Amino acid sequence: MQGTAYGDEQLAMAMRKELRERLLEAQNEGRPLRVYCGFDPRTSDLHLGHTVPMRKLRQFQELGHEVVFLIGNFTSLIGDPSDKDKLRPQLTPEEVEENARTYAEQAFKILDPEKTIIEYNAKWLSKLTFADLIKLASNFTVQQFLTRENFRKRWDKGEPVYLHETFYAIMQGYDAYALRADVQIGGTDQLFNIVTAARKLMTFMGVKPNIAIILDILPGTDGEVKMSKSLGNHIPLLSTPEDMYGKLMSVPDKAMGAYMRLLTRWTPRQIAELETGIAQGRLNPRDVKMQLAREIVEIYHGEDAAARAEEHFVRVFQQRDIPDEIPEYCLQEGETVLQVLRNANLVSSNSEGRRLIQQKAVRLDGEVLSDPRAAFPGPGVLRVGKRKFVRVSNCSATRE
RNA sequence: GGGCAGGUACCCAAGUGGCCAAAGGGGGCUGACUGUAAAUCAGCUGGCGUCACGCCUACGGGGGUUCGAAUCCCUCCCUGCCCA
């Protein structure tokens, strides 16, 4: 896994140099580095985008460093403006707590639970006074915030930039100070928060500024923008192997590079080989994508599950066959085609059902059903579109 | 507090009395094709029904004018800009 991105070469070099020095220093003091990354418990499920910094943390862990998994339960109350050019809704403390609960559990799919320190930033942030905030804020100018791209954009478009949003960077900077972190990991959207806010605040508070490791952002399944649940282009960490595999196959070809670099265990050399293979037409992008999907599913579900997921994909989507396990539906006396679609939860409204029937998307054992009002022909495998299947049977009749 | 410009569907955005369930784009869905749930092309994209027709809900909230309102008026809420 690779993919650091600093935006400018000077910063990258400075950070590399500092990291080297800090490593030596820590070695002399006989201590590991303290590495952290903060996560926003804005939603309750993690997705592959979250795994990018988490796997970087894991690497540090394996090298014997101390890793802090910080849950931003306090900062979530504001909502990080970094990755949006829009105000994010504030969550209630209850929502945040609810989300935070399942968070760590999922994180341990990647991190070593034995070696991970979990912290919540409400622990120190909730204790700061207004006077503290003023003191911290006096390190920054309004201009520094206004030149940040995402604030700038909104400013230019005449959209509101709320004062409390600027606190986010300050709070995050304070996290780094409270943790006395040596290294902080984050995506390119965290550049300002880490490099400007955190380092400045730490210096001001009289401790050594932490070193920034800035990672590329994983695009979502649309291949365009950052993977995020709210945009609906995410692949949940807890999705089934089949689903994860399928979603990975739906990623546009152009995003494959980023996925290979940010999500796999492959070396830069292996990736380069695959990429030139595709570029020269030696390798079929589909096959490479299948390898990619299998590799990623394997990381989270193991070899066997990944193999099964691939089989499922080939059977259902390439050969248009039906999957192994499909839900059952008991046909009721006198039901029409439309009613079955509805009752088996294959569609969410009658209109949607009619539309799909009109579009020839509804098949019973391969036969297109074209009349929504016709009586349902009888038992068989009902397929709606490419992904939805239900086995319709006469179970009530046979039972009696 | 004053002046001006705004608030439209999942998102962006047009529309400024009837032809508006609302252009266009994005997203999503479906089909064709394929090398894949990629790309490309086409269609669909509020709900209910006796479904080429009718009804209900919807253009920030409430009220009004009108045969008829996203469009006009009043009022309230929210946002931006300028002034204080």
pLDDT, tens digit, 9 for 90 and up, residues A113-145? 999 999 999 999 999 999 999 999 999 988 888
- C-alpha A78/C-alpha A83 separation (Å) is 13
Tell me the nt nearest to A316, Cα to C1': B37
Closest CA to A73 of A44, A102, A93, A49: A93
Has residue A249 got a pLDDT over 60?
Answer: yes
Q: Is the CB of A222 under 7 A from strand B?
A: yes
User: Measured in angstroms, what separates residue A89's CA from nucleotide B84's C1'?
Assistant: 32
pLDDT at A73 over 70: yes
A385 sits within 7 Å of strand B by its CB: yes
Q: Helix A163-179 crosses helix A130-137 at what angle (to 10 degrees)?
A: 90
Which residue's CA lies closest to nucleotide B42 at its C1' atom?
A: A359
Distance A126 CA to B78 C1' (A): 30
Rounded-to-integer distance, Cα A199 and Cα A171, Å: 12
The yes-or-no verdict on residue A97 having pLDDT over 80 is: no
Q: What is the pLDDT of residue A46?
A: 86
- Name the residue with the least CA to C1' distance from nucleotide B44: A355
What's the pLDDT at A83?
A: 46
Tell if A126 CB is < 7 Å from nucleic strand B: no
Residue with tokens 């019973």: A364
Average the pLDDT over A285-303 and give the result: 93
CB of A111 closer than 8 Å to CB of A75: no
What's the N-to-C CA distance of chain A in angstroms? 59
Q: What angle do CA A47, A52, A56 make, to 5 degrees?
A: 140
The predicted pLDDT at position A273 comes to 92
The pLDDT value given to residue A85: 42
- Cα–Cα dist A68/A185, whole Å: 11
Q: Which nucleotide is nearest to A362 (CA to C1')?
A: B30
Per-residue CA distances from A107 to A76, A298, A305 (Å)? 18, 17, 20
What's the pLDDT score for residue A262? 92
Nucleotides, chain B, CB distance < 7 Å:
27-32, 35-39, 43-49, 51, 79-81
- The model carries a pTM of 0.83
- Using the 8-state DSSP alphabet, how is residue A85 labeled? S
pLDDT digits (tens, 9 = 90+) for A141-157: 888 888 877 788 888 88
Phi, psi of A363 (to 5 degrees): -130, 140
Checking if the pLDDT of A99 tops 50, the result is yes
pLDDT band at residue A386 under the 50/70/90 scheme: confident
The answer to whether A359 CB sits below 7 Å from nucleic acid chain B is yes
Hey, is A106 helix, strand or coil?
helix
Whether A101 and A93 have beta carbons less than 8 Å apart is answered as: no
- Residue A319 is encoded by which pair of tokens? 């050969």
The string of DSSP codes covering A22-52 is: HHHHHHHHT---EEEEEE-TTSS--BHHHHH
Q: Assess whether A248 (CB) lies less than 7 A from strand B.
A: no
Helix (H/G/I), strand (E/B), else coil: A153: helix
Strand partners, A384: A362, A388
Instruction: Report how far residue A301's alpha carbon sits from residue A296's, in angstroms, rounded to the nearest whole number.
Output: 9
Residue A84 pLDDT > 60:
no
Chain A residues 148 to 177 with C-beta below 7 Å from nucleic strand B: 155, 158-162
Contact A393, A379 (CB under 8 A): yes
Cβ of A246 near strand B (distance < 7 A): yes
Distance CA A335, CA A356 (A): 18
> Between A303-313 and A285-301, two packed helices, what is the crossing angle to 10 degrees?
140
In contact, A214 and A6? CB cutoff 8 Å: yes
Q: How far is CA A318 from the centre of its chain?
A: 27
- Alpha carbons A109 and A103: distance in angstroms, whole number: 11
Question: How far is C-alpha A111 from the geometric centre of its chain's CA atoms?
Answer: 16
